[in-house]
């Protein structure tokens, strides 16, 4: 099962991905988690990524596509994966198409979690309190939402007519969102 999980920051991608990996026994590929791990380990990638993350901006496509390509080449991705937070730009989506083609696989579903922006601000503020994520500071949150609107939301149009696009109401409680996703995946 090859799943792409999309949605704005705070839509619940991480929460739903955690449940999906358990149900389908496939790895979650979260570029945000990968960057946060690199920042923590203070690798050259982490030092580079941190500049962008702290500003609420996207890490450049070339860097991001590079780490995803490397990750997807690992053995555990052979049985499937959940992409969470990638692609975030049209250029990344085009690169992903090329990577998948090279791997000889195709996505089974593109799942978009739909949540209105006032609710996103509320959720991210709550996460800032609980998880103390550097990029959940109020001044950065607004920037991330703007970046989503400008750079990532257009991807909905990129995938909408693919035949595998699933729009999910992310405003429901966590269990109902998960049920809807599983039903949309159809297995
Ligand atoms: P996330 O946890 O997915 O919200 O990602 C946190 C931050 O990591 C984002 O605000 C970006 O700075 C960076 N990031 C994560 N995924 C990507 C991506 N696909 N392209 C560029 N930057 C990314």
Residue 107 sits in a domain whose CATH number is 3.40.50.300
pLDDT at 159: 97
What does pTM read for this prediction? 0.94
Contact between 151 and 57 (Cβ < 8 Å)? no
Q: Look at residue 78 and give its three-state secondary structure.
A: coil
Residues of the chain below pLDDT 70: none
Distance (angstroms) between ligand 1 centre and the Cα of 177 equals 22
Give, for ligand 1, the residue of 55, 88, 124 to mutate: max count of ligand atoms closer than 8 Å to Cβ.
88
Q: Would you please indicate which residues are annotated as catalytic (active-site) residues?
A: 13, 88, 127, 133, 144
Contact between 32 and 49 (Cβ < 8 Å)? no
Report yes or no on 42 lying in a domain: yes
Cα–Cα distance between 12 and 33 in angstroms, integer? 14
Report yes or no on 164 lying in a domain: yes
Determine the structural domain holding residue 84 and report its residue range: 2-170
Report yes or no on 184 lying in a domain: no
- What is the H or E stretch that residue 168 is in? strand 165-169
pLDDT one-digit tens code per residue, 134-177: 788 888 889 999 999 999 999 999 999 999 999 999 999 999 99
């Amino acid at each position: 099962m090859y799943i792409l999980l999309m949605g704005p920051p705070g839509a619940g991608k991480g929460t739903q991905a955690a449940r999906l990996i358990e149900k389908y026994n496939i790895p979650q590929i979260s570029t945000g988690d990968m960057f946060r791990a690199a920042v923590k380990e203070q690798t050259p990638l982490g030092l580079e990524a941190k500049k962008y993350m702290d500003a609420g901006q996207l890490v450049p496509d070339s860097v991001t596509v590079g780490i995803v390509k490397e990750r997807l080449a690992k053995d555990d991705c052979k049985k499937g994966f959940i992409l969470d937070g990638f692609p975030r730009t049209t250029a990344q989506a085009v690169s992903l198409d090329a990577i998948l083609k090279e791997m000889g696989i195709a996505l089974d579903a593109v799942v978009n979690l739909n949540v209105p922006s006032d609710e996103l601000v509320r959720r991210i503020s709550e996460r800032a309190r609980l998880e103390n994520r550097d990029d959940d500071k109020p001044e950065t949150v607004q920037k991330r939402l703007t970046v989503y609107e400008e750079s990532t939301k257009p991807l909905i149009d990129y995938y909408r007519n693919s035949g595998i696009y699933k729009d999910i109401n992310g405003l429901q409680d966590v269990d109902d969102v998960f049920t809807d996703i599983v039903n949309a995946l159809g297995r």
